[in-house]
Structures are given as C-alpha cells and as structure tokens.
A and B are shown apart, each in its own frame.
Chain A
Amino acid sequence: MTPPTMAGAVAGQPPGQARPATTRDACRRALLELARVDQRVICVDADMGGLDDVFAERPGQYVNVGIAEANLMSLSAGLATTGFRPFAHTICSFAVARACEQIKIDIASAGLPVCVVVTHSGLSAGHYGPTHHSVNDLAIIRTMPNMTVLVPADVAEAEWAVRAAHQLPGPAFIRLGRDATPAVHDGPCAPQVGQALTLREGDDVAIVATGPHPVLMALAAATSLGVLGVGARVLGMHTVKPIDEAALVQAAEQTRGIVTVEDHLVVGGLGGAVAEVVAQHRPCRVHRIGVPDEFIDRVGDERYLLAEAGVGADQIVAAALSLVRATAAAR
C-alpha cells in the first residue's frame, strides 16, 4: 500500500516552530498545574500508566480505580457531587463504547462537572488494532445533552482544553490521540469554547476539521489549493459540541461549499454535525471526509490507516475542487 502523499500534513513537518509533542502529555501537565492551585481537582485514572508518576507529588488528588471503566465514570460522578472536580482518564473506546451508559446517566444527565479525558481516539492506536480504535465516539458523545466536546488539534489547544473544561459548570469530554503531532499554533492558544478558529482565510471553499491530523491535513490542502488559485478557508473545530453554528452558516454563505475532515466515521461525527447545521440554516454542498462506514480491521500505524480510510490532504483537495467546479457549473 502506498503511504499517503500529504507529506507536510502527517509526516512530521510542523508548520509552526514547536517540535512534535503529544497532546496527552500536554493535558497531563496542564492538569497537574490545575491541581496545584485547585484542591478540588482529582485525577481519576483507569490504569493508564504514567498518570501516577505525573501526580506523584499530589497523592491526595490522584485515584486509580484500575481496569474498570464503568466504575471510573460512576465513581467520578459521585465524587463530583461532593464538590470535587474529577478528570476521569481512559482510552477513548473504553470510555464511550464500554462505559457509555455511565457517562450518559451518571455524568451527562446529572449535569455533573466531570471531565472525561480520553486518548487513542480515531485510528491513533494504529497497530494496536480495531479493539483500540475509536471512530464512532463523537457520534455517541455529542448526542448527550449537557456535554461539551473538545477535540484539541495540538499541544497548545490541549492545554487550553483542560483549563476550559475546568471552568465549565457541567460535564466535558476531551478527545486526544496517542502519538506526537506537529504544532498547529506557534504559541499558546486560548480560543473560546464553541467558537471555531479561523486558521486560514479564503472565500472559495471552506474546510472544517477537527483533531490533530485532520487540521494539519486541512492546512496542507489549503496551501495546495492556494497554488491552484482556490482560496480555502480553514476552520479548526476544537469544540464539536456546542458546534459553532455562526461560523458554519457564514462559511456556507461566503464559500461554494464545505469539506469536513475528521479521523472518525463520516456518519454522526463532525461531518454529521456540520450537515445538520447547514441543512437547517443555510443549505450548501457538504463533502464529508472521514472513515467510511466499515470496520478498519487492517494492520498499520495511524498514517497508514488514515490513508487506507481515505482521509488525507489529497482527498480534501479533490473534494474542494469538485465543490468549486460543481457550483461554478451550476452558476
């Protein structure tokens, strides 16, 4: 199988200055900093490894419930009712698929300020295999009222996400990958929850992306499109719920169509959320790039699997060009 050709996007060429780092480590550091200033912050761990070392200096604010994701969620909910701010850590699929009901009833429905922090989202578990992949979690978690869903694109956004979740009165979900990814932002980043970041200006087509690889691919695609004379706006959707309706309606009004990019099924995730918004408020063409409706049960690293799934800068460019041509022909 040929590796993906969007070298600049996923092959480790950072558009910014910072060297690649994992959002997971950034989140852990940010959480420890929060714990130092807020005694209510409790790190609840489901045997993730490494969190115990990070929190070694604050043993009173760290609990390991072991390999027990249902209990991780219920216990965190109970903790929250006594005034604490639990950050519950596990692997994405084990949180949302395995402990879905505990998140739904005990945390989301109750509106409790529990932040569920997950790693290995999308196809980032790579060679671990499909048991560890998570490509339907956004579809599930965004159907839970009260929930704020944050998907940081890089280290700076990951640090922000932890601080932002801490400020929320209710539940939050922070979706992280596994491996280091290049920085999207040159320095610190502090967007507003629910407000998309315009990472690139452009009025011909809009590319809406969430998560590290999709955002990097979108930026690479926008550069390629620029060379072809197509102005692509890139919206970084660090918040999938509540989704920035205004930015999407504006994109629908001002461009010839929207391409969505995610390391998640094309069903129910970012693409679904965007389509829901524009279908109601400002119908436009939406081309969804993501994992097709099939199990990706192949072996390979994240880049290989994304390419297998058809998620890459080349596909974004092709989709954007087809949108521009189709609407140009229609005019």
Chain B
Amino acid sequence: MTASASELAARAYRVRQRVLDIGASDVGTHVGGSLSVADVLTVLYSGVLRVRPDEPDWPDRDRLVLSKGHASAALYAVLADLGFFPAAECDTYGQAGSRLAGHPLRRLEGVEFATGSLGHGLGLGAGVALGARLARCQARAFVLLGDGELQEGSVWEAVMCAAHLGLDNLVAVVDRNQWQISGRTEDCIGLEPLAERWRSFGWMASEVDGHDHVALSRAFAEVPAAAGKPTVVIARTVKGSGVPVFEDRKKSHYVQLSPQLHARATAGLRGRVRSSP
C-alpha cells in the first residue's frame, strides 16, 4: 500500500502539526528532534514497515524501535494517524494518567520498547532481528537513532555485534540533524566521517536527504542493501524541519509553545507547504 506523493506530503504535514500541538501542551516536548524525523517516520509507516494498526501484536510485524525516544511526539502523531490508538488521545500527552509520556511507554499500541535513555535501541533491534532470523520469520527491525546518540558506547557494541551476526534484517536510520543539546555535534564530539565509520564496521551505508520522501522510499526499498549485512540509512535532516521558527535552531530542542508561538509556528508550517514545489 504505497502512498502517493501528495498523500505522503499530507501525512507529514499532519505529523508536524500534531508535534506542534503536543509542544503546546502544558509540559512541552522535544520539538526540534521530533520535527526532524517527521518525514522519516511518515515514509516508514507508509508502506515500508509491515505493521497492522488493528493487530499491533501481530507476530510477523516489522518493529520500529524509536531509540531516540525523545522524539515521542512524532511517533505518537504517526501512530495516531494510522489508527493504532484514537487520535484524540494525543491531547492527553503528559497529563496525569495518560499513556503518552515524554518518552514512549510499551503500554501504548504500536510502541515496541520503552526508550528514552539513549544507546539502547540498536541492541534491542539486533535482538529482534536475531530472533526473527532464528524463528525463520519475515519480521525486520528498524531502529531510529539520533546522531548525538551515537556518542553512546553501547551503540557501537550493537553495531559490531549486528555486523558480526550478519543481521541483514536490521536497519538503522540515523537522524543526522547535526545538533545536540549543547550545540553542534561536530563541536561536541564529532561524528564524521559518519557513513565511512558504519561501513568500516561492516554495514551497508547510504546517505539521503531525510526530508525527501522519494529518496527515503528508495533507500528503504533497497533493504537489505547486501545479503548478510545490516543496513544504515543516514538521513540528513534539519532540526525543527518544516517550521521556520524552529529550523536548524539549537533552542528548538525542547519547547513549550505558548499560544502565540503555536500560532506563529503553525502559520509557518502552512506557509512552507504552500511555497513548496
């Protein structure tokens, strides 16, 4: 069920709007890093991932592991849009008794693992991929990592292990927005040459524009890029993407949007869509 270009654009727009709405909640959210993965998640959940919203525990499903759990708002937006849970539930984000926390919880349909502490997701995904292979099941694991997250040593334990085990049903997607809380990743602890690093560990690596739906779809369609090798897609993204007031801004990391800022951000998002080709 491949979606048309206009349908993908419409979905990504709805995801971004929902991220802004969640950011306007009393507690705010990780706006910048949620907006930067809006297109990646939209494309993954529009025909790439084999999932069933009405049967979230379907054993043969592909698993999406949101290793950068702070992008929960984007995940909630995508899952709600697909009907994993009622979209209205997004309005409860962060409130007492809600199932929607600042970092995702397994009790919510569609959430595979409770993430938020960085550096866990790739190992979890490797375990899923290994289990699927041992069970001769078609399930694959897609792990969405932040770029700053790659500074966690446990990521590289899993990178080495997945390559050694030849887990070609494991796909890492790096949200390469170049920012972390304290500033530019390259000013903090540099990651480049990133693709070469993954390749040197035995992975198939490709780099794509992380906001280009066609390019993303093509990259995911080529998985596994080589038999017996895990794949990493480095998605070059813009933190705060799609909302001018937040784009490529360090301060977009965590925002509680006032009504005025929410209106301004929403107008900016709408304006960007109108002006896009």
- Tell me the minimal C-beta distance from B62 to chain A in angstroms: 12
- Tell me the minimal C-beta distance from B4 to chain A in angstroms: 34
- Tell me the minimal C-beta distance from B38 to chain A in angstroms: 26
A249 an interface residue at 8 Å Cβ cutoff? no
Contact partner of A74 (CB less than 8 A), chosen from B106, B123, B132, is B123
Mostly helix, strand, loop or mixed at chain B's interface?
helix
- Tell me the minimal C-beta distance from A75 to chain B in angstroms: 4
B137 touches A102 (CB 8 A): no
Which residues, 121 to 167 on A, are CB-close (under 8 Å) to B? Answer: none
Given contacts A65-B161, A68-B157, A70-B157, contact A83 B131 (CB under 8 A): yes
> Which residues from A are CB-within-8-Å of B106?
110
In the assembly, what is the distance between CA of A99 and CA of B139, in Å? 27
A5 an interface residue at 8 Å Cβ cutoff? no
> Which residues from B are CB-within-8-Å of A42?
134
> Which residues from A are CB-within-8-Å of B139?
82
B131 touches A78 (CB 8 A): yes
B135 touches A63 (CB 8 A): no
A106 touches B130 (CB 8 A): no
> Which residues from B are CB-within-8-Å of A63?
130, 165
Given contacts A70-B157, A83-B135, A102-B123, contact A75 B113 (CB under 8 A): no
B141 an interface residue at 8 Å Cβ cutoff? yes
A77 an interface residue at 8 Å Cβ cutoff? yes
User: What mask results when residues 58 to 83 of chain A are scored 1 for a CB within 8 Å of chain B, else 0?
Assistant: 00100101101011011111111111
Q: Chain B, interface size: which category?
A: 20 to 34
In the assembly, what is the distance between CA of A42 and CA of B201, in Å? 26
B127 touches A76 (CB 8 A): yes
A22 an interface residue at 8 Å Cβ cutoff? no
A195 an interface residue at 8 Å Cβ cutoff? no
User: What mask results when residues 54 to 78 of chain B are scored 1 for a CB within 8 Å of chain A, else 0?
Assistant: 0000010001000000000000000
> Which residues from B are CB-within-8-Å of A106?
113, 120, 123-124
B161 touches A79 (CB 8 A): no
User: What mask results when residues 72 to 100 of chain A are scored 1 for a CB within 8 Å of chain B, else 0?
Assistant: 01111111111110100000000000000
Contact partner of B161 (CB less than 8 A), chosen from A73, A75, A101, is A75
In the assembly, what is the distance between CA of A106 and CA of B121, in Å? 9
Interface centre among A42, A71, A73 (most CB of B within 10 A): A71
A13 an interface residue at 8 Å Cβ cutoff? no
In the assembly, what is the distance between CA of A84 and CA of B106, in Å? 19
Given contacts A81-B131, A83-B135, A84-B131, contact A74 B59 (CB under 8 A): no
> Which residues from A are CB-within-8-Å of B122?
74
Contact partner of A81 (CB less than 8 A), chosen from B123, B127, B134, B157, is B127
In the assembly, what is the distance between CA of A105 and CA of B141, in Å? 19
> Which residues from B are CB-within-8-Å of A60?
134
B247 an interface residue at 8 Å Cβ cutoff? no
Which residues, 159 to 205 on B, are CB-close (under 8 Å) to A? Answer: 160-161, 164-165
Mostly helix, strand, loop or mixed at chain A's interface?
helix
B20 an interface residue at 8 Å Cβ cutoff? no
Given contacts A76-B127, A81-B127, A82-B128, contact A109 B160 (CB under 8 A): no
Interface centre among B125, B127, B132 (most CB of A within 10 A): B127
- Tell me the minimal C-beta distance from B104 to chain A in angstroms: 12
> Which residues from B are CB-within-8-Å of A81?
63, 112-113, 124, 127-128, 131
Contact partner of A70 (CB less than 8 A), chosen from B113, B119, B128, B132, is B119
A77 touches B127 (CB 8 A): yes
- Tell me the minimal C-beta distance from A31 to chain B in angstroms: 17
> Which residues from A are CB-within-8-Å of B119?
70
B131 touches A71 (CB 8 A): no
Contact partner of A78 (CB less than 8 A), chosen from B114, B117, B130, B137, is B130
User: What mask results when residues 221 to 260 of chain B are scored 1 for a CB within 8 Å of chain A, else 0?
Assistant: 0000000000000000000000000000000000000000
A71 touches B59 (CB 8 A): no
B130 touches A79 (CB 8 A): yes
B120 touches A75 (CB 8 A): no
B43 an interface residue at 8 Å Cβ cutoff? no
User: What mask results when residues 25 to 44 of chain A are scored 1 for a CB within 8 Å of chain B, else 0?
Assistant: 00000000000000000100
B80 an interface residue at 8 Å Cβ cutoff? no
In the assembly, what is the distance between CA of A310 and CA of B274, in Å? 77
Given contacts A71-B154, A101-B117, contact A78 B160 (CB under 8 A): no
In the assembly, what is the distance between CA of A42 and CA of B59, in Å? 19
B158 an interface residue at 8 Å Cβ cutoff? yes
In the assembly, what is the distance between CA of A80 and CA of B154, in Å? 19
Which B residues form the contact surface with A (CB < 8 A)? 59, 63, 106, 112-114, 117, 119-120, 122-132, 134-135, 137, 139, 141, 153-154, 157-158, 160-161, 164-165
List 25 A-B residue pairs with CB atoms under 8 Å apart, sorted by A's residue number.
A42-B134, A63-B165, A66-B164, A68-B157, A70-B119, A70-B153, A70-B154, A74-B123, A74-B124, A75-B123, A75-B158, A77-B123, A78-B125, A78-B126, A79-B128, A81-B63, A81-B112, A81-B124, A82-B128, A82-B131, A82-B137, A83-B131, A106-B123, A110-B106, A110-B113
A66-B160, A83-B59 known; 12 new pairs, CB 8 Å cut-off, are: A68-B154, A70-B154, A71-B123, A71-B126, A74-B123, A75-B127, A78-B123, A78-B130, A81-B63, A82-B137, A83-B131, A101-B117
